[in-house]
Structure 1
């Protein structure tokens, strides 16, 4: 069998009902599984296992009409019972684990009723409305009931590729000729773990792989088509707004106005980033593109004087050694910038990234900490990190009643354009009264062997094997 080869930095087969934003993991999951809906190519959502859906009761009741004739890779039929079994597992408080913190999905699905009006339809009735439910269900992968107790033992979904085997540093899947989207373009896919970006580039240029993800920035690979895409995961510093000097919104705003993000991107990332001036990236609903502030040092100093700390301020900062991998270099560069404003950063380094995430989840941080915000759902970002009434896993004492009123409005606003306008209002309010230090988004590079001028990366940055063009000759297994 011929396999199209994909070289990527990480290779792991995760539980399909855990919560991940890792591109290299999602490209595998999306090949093996389908969800009720998929992200649209440019905006909104497209049919997945559901051919159509209806929403009622201001986003509390959702009815999904399933495609007819779909079968899992083990031959069993897709029906309402199978869908409900996966959704119920996804909703469990011990699932939806990210960096050791479970229950990401259960906070939205706890108390929901999953009903089967017919064998080919599923109704979800939420405990409280969520107009952004589809933004959650794109990750609601439907797993064959035969393996639901342990989907890692033998992955089995309805996706365009069928699991074959995994070995040391590779993972293989063959085409599903009966997929509802039509037969895939490739006989098989082989993902390979190639840890160093320079080695992925060499493998692409040497003909050892057809696709290479996360390549060195600024390098044009020979004999390949490369694209730059923006990772929607925002790199930020969470402020401790519950205790210490960063309870004062004037200081939080001053730090954001003092920061020269373009200089940070040049010095720390070698240009491989896009400046972040609010809580949303350009990929998010509600992003405001106009009027983004450049560094405004005079305003920053005026705010520090008004807050009574113009003579100097020391902030304790928690910093991991990975995720982002440049966290130490970034923190040093920010410290150098803020020194001219009389702000001194006292940095504590944490080597265990999962333990670090648990510390943040327990609010055991100093004045600020290096972190990221990964959900592409604007509502999830607001709910999990900013709403003081929810006090989610990554909430650190911030409260803004005006934003919370807008969150309530967005929760029941099922019109996408109107909801996006609400999120734009949130974006402006949170730029004026920032809960975090906004830094940047990464720019990533992906390349395909040969000339493919019409190929485009997906808007969420995930390498979608369904969209890969044909490459001609590939490896034989």
Structure 2
């Protein structure tokens, strides 16, 4: 059963009527503070163990949790989410409303907010950010704007792989405390998507000074501007101080001029510790104060040692991706179905994922409106898998299976273990597996999502907001190298669902799309949804676990 907060978020995300939006806005706290605050002593330094290195600190060029964690502390968005929930709440905007057709959005801004460089947050600054995203030039830069492509669909001038028709048409500032954004059509993701970390608001002055739009590509590697690497400038509760790559530390300091609840600690350090066991040992030694995604097998021992294991609500999906581009056999639905039948997902969830994990039957958690009943099922059946492979003439199939290292994700606590279990299942039905391991921030995501080098791969998603489009639309709403297929019928069905304003019809359209995806397309195999945890020492108070992994550290203190 969905919580009240999630039901409200779904209404906010799906409804475009101004009266609905006003209700959503009024339900949220408007004092700019977190829903729950810390009660411990103030001051000092909080050290958090990060599982991987940030790609950079420019929000628009990121889509992964290890980059977003520090970014969320440095920046704010127009709309945010109430701590610990998916419920919409005021951010830089105290109020937001749209016209009935969902094509015009008006934001009323907080008074007196300043960027870290001292410049004012006003309507012109908001418009400068939207215009920057829309007018971004260069195939390299556009390719790194994953969230922009999913939500705003196209650029003023598409380059490289960008092909969509842009949703955005313009932004005006009729008053210093107002910004009005105009679009070409209704978008089901809005207003919730205005709270995406990728759409955090940056200082136009700093972006200009440090050449924020400079992105270059060499092979599969990207280089970013001085703004993204050394001078990120937002409005958040913490300011960027440094990123010491040699020592793997990101250092932030308290923003004494923050508009909301000011940080309780003086300094926030993210130490990059890729190995989960090493993070656990550092926590026990007291050299870090917390880390994300502890192994489910360690929950009991962590609690016994006096640590706090804070379990989030389940709001994610893990899947086995299938790329149809490189191996002709994978274009055959029977082969993809055989792969699904070959995997013992019940055993995988029971033995390798946190308590409370569920076998996934489709590409979203059951709490999201649009979840379908009666989808095509693929229970563990190795004999059926062998039969389908033989029927398709693919009994001697060999596949390149990519999996990430140096990372733990909410949906994927130990990628190597998951790879081992799944690959063994596939071998049992006669499929030969060539394993390819790559570091998460050392080429893995570019290999599978940009270059499409793999046949199979492990990946997943933690929801950004409560709407089906944030799951299936993100995965399968347009042609992507990750899956290597082009099916206009599926893309059109998902676009039509996204463009349906009525909440009930919106959910029904996505439910039908989910049924078709599982029966007709099967572009990947949904594996599981599971509740990830975050762990902190006994003397830490005020950390509110978020189903969106949207934890803010300004409320956290050390006793």
TM-score where L is the length of structure 1: 0.82
Question: 2:158 matched to which residue of 1?
Answer: none
Match of 1:225 in 2: 308
Flag structure 2 segments of 5+ consecutive residues without an equivalent. 1-42, 156-165, 211-226, 409-413
Seen in structure 2, the aligned counterparts of structure 1 residues 114 and 233 have a Cα distance that, compared at 3 Å, is farther
Stretch deviating more after TM superposition (104-113 or 88-97): 88-97
State the 1:257 CA deviation: 3.0
CA contact (8 A) 1:278 1:427 kept: yes
Q: Write the mapping of 1:343-354 to structure 2, written as runs, cut at 5 A.
A: 343-347=430-434, 349=436, 351=438
Question: Is the CA contact (8 Å cut-off) linking 2:274 and 2:407 kept in structure 1?
Answer: no
The number of equivalent residue pairs is 464
Q: Secondary structure at the match of 2:391?
A: coil
Matched with 1:295 is: 379
Give the conservation status (yes or no) of the 8 Å contact 2:452–2:482: no
Q: CA RMSD for the aligned pairs?
A: 3.8
> Partners in 2 of 1:273 and 1:336 — Cα distance?
21
Cα drift, residue 85 of structure 1: 1.6
For each residue in 1:419-470, what CA deviation from the matched residue of structure 2 results, as whole angstroms up to 9, or x when unmatched? Answer: 34433332233222311122335654321222789854111124331443x3
Instruction: Please list, as runs of the form range in 1=range in 2, the aligned pairs for 1:98-113 lying within 5 A after superposition.
Output: 101-107=143-149, 108=152, 110=155, 111=166, 112=168, 113=170
Comparing 314-323 and 247-256, the one that deviates more:
314-323
CA distance in 2, matches of 1:315, 1:331: 16
Q: Which residue of 1 aligns with 2:270?
A: 191
Distance 1:179 1:424, change over 3 A: farther
Tell me which moved more, 244-253 or 307-316. 307-316
Asked if 2 retains the 8 angstrom alpha-carbon contact of 1:235 and 1:371, the reply is yes
If each structure's helix is expressed as a fraction of its own residues, which one has the higher value?
A: 2
| Equivalent residues in 2 for 1:25-424, closer than 5 Å | 25-40=67-82, 41-56=84-99, 58-93=101-136, 101-107=143-149, 108=152, 110=155, 111=166, 112=168, 113-137=170-194, 138-139=196-197, 140-149=199-208, 150=210, 151=227, 152-167=229-244, 168-219=247-298, 220-221=301-302, 222-229=305-312, 230=314, 232=316, 234-240=318-324, 244-265=328-349, 274-281=358-365, 286-288=370-372, 293=377, 295-297=379-381, 300-301=384-385, 304=388, 308-309=391-392, 312-320=395-403, 322=405, 330-341=418-429, 343-347=430-434, 349=436, 351=438, 357-358=445-446, 360=448, 365=453, 368-374=455-461, 376=463, 378-387=468-477, 390-397=478-485, 399=487, 401=489, 403-416=490-503, 418-424=505-511
When normalised by structure 2's length, the TM-score is 0.71
In the alignment, which residue of structure 1 is the partner of 2:524? 436
Q: Distance in 1 between matches of 2:437 and 2:148?
A: 29
Contact 1:160/1:466 (8 A) holds in 2 = yes
Whether the 8 Å contact between 2:76 and 2:91 is mirrored in structure 1 is: yes
